[in-house]
């Protein structure tokens, strides 16, 4: 984040309890898609005294302890670092609506996973898909638009199991691409 005239790494203050979600401004690489729309980035910052400034309200604009330079319009950039060797990549599709399916077999552990709203390599979904913990229909709480990307990050020193995450779709055959380690 650009604060006080410098780019400052705020990674340590980004909360793992909510996913980091971004959407590129350019929806595809088609020849006809030459103009990018506005991209979006969504994340949650630690506003407790456990943040890097050790101040309650550090990321509350207008608060007495607000971090210098933080507020509406603060410039932010996202940097994604993939492992040197990506060994785990899947595309999970769901054949029928209203039938959530686990992302992978039990024991498929990961520390970090990047997801993309696609049904095949280079093919965006037709509709929104939903990701969450739980196999019951309509309980998946993270909506993922076609082509949208985000990250699921386990807390330091821990791993999640892809088998605990379920995918439900609005359009049969839609899915989710995952690159995880």
d(CA 130, CA 98): 11
Average pLDDT over residues 135-154: 92
Residues in the chain: 181
Which residues, in sequence order, are CB contacts of 179 under 8 Å at separation 6+? 82, 86, 88, 89, 113, 114
| Confidence check: pLDDT of 175 > 60 | yes
Q: What is the mean pLDDT of residues 163-171?
A: 96
35-51: b (≥16 Cβ within 10 Å) or e: eeeeeeeebebbbeeeb
- What is the model's pLDDT at position 31? 64
pTM for the complete prediction? Answer: 0.60
All structural domains of the chain: 1-79 (no CATH), 89-180 (2.60.120)
What pLDDT digit, counting tens, does each position of 33-89 carry?
667 777 888 899 999 999 999 999 999 999 999 999 999 988 998 877 655 555 789
pLDDT greater than 60 at residue 30 = yes
The 10s digit of each residue's pLDDT in 85-105 is 557 899 999 999 999 999 998
- The whole-number average pLDDT for the span 6-24 is 86
Average pLDDT over residues 132-159: 91
Confidence of residue 125 (pLDDT cuts 50, 70, 90): very high
| Least-confidence region, from 27-31, 64-68, 121-125 | 27-31
* Model pLDDT, residue 83: 56
* Tokens standing for residue 119: 């049904």
| CA–CA distance, 54 with 13 (Å, rounded to integer) | 10
Percent of the chain with pLDDT over 90: 64
Calpha distance 121→167 (Å, rounded): 18
């Amino acid at each position: 984040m650009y604060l006080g005239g410098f780019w400052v790494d705020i990674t340590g203050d980004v909360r793992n309890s909510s996913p980091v979600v971004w959407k590129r401004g350019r929806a595809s690489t088609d020849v006809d898609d030459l103009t990018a729309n506005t991209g979006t980035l969504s994340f949650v910052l630690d506003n407790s005294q456990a943040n890097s400034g050790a101040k309650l309200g550090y990321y509350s604009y207008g608060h007495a302890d607000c971090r210098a330079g933080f507020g509406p319009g603060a410039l932010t950039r996202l940097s994604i670092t993939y492992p040197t060797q990506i060994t785990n990549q899947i595309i999970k599709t769901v054949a029928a609506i209203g039938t959530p399916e686990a992302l992978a077999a039990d024991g498929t552990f990961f520390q970090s996973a990047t997801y993309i709203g696609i049904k095949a390599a280079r093919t965006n979904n037709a509709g929104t898909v939903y990701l969450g913990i739980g196999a019951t229909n309509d309980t998946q709480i993270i909506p993922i638009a076609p082509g949208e990307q985000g990250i699921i990050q386990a807390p330091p020193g821990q791993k999640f199991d892809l088998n605990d995450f379920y995918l439900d779709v609005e359009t049969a055959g839609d899915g989710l691409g995952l690159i995880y380690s």
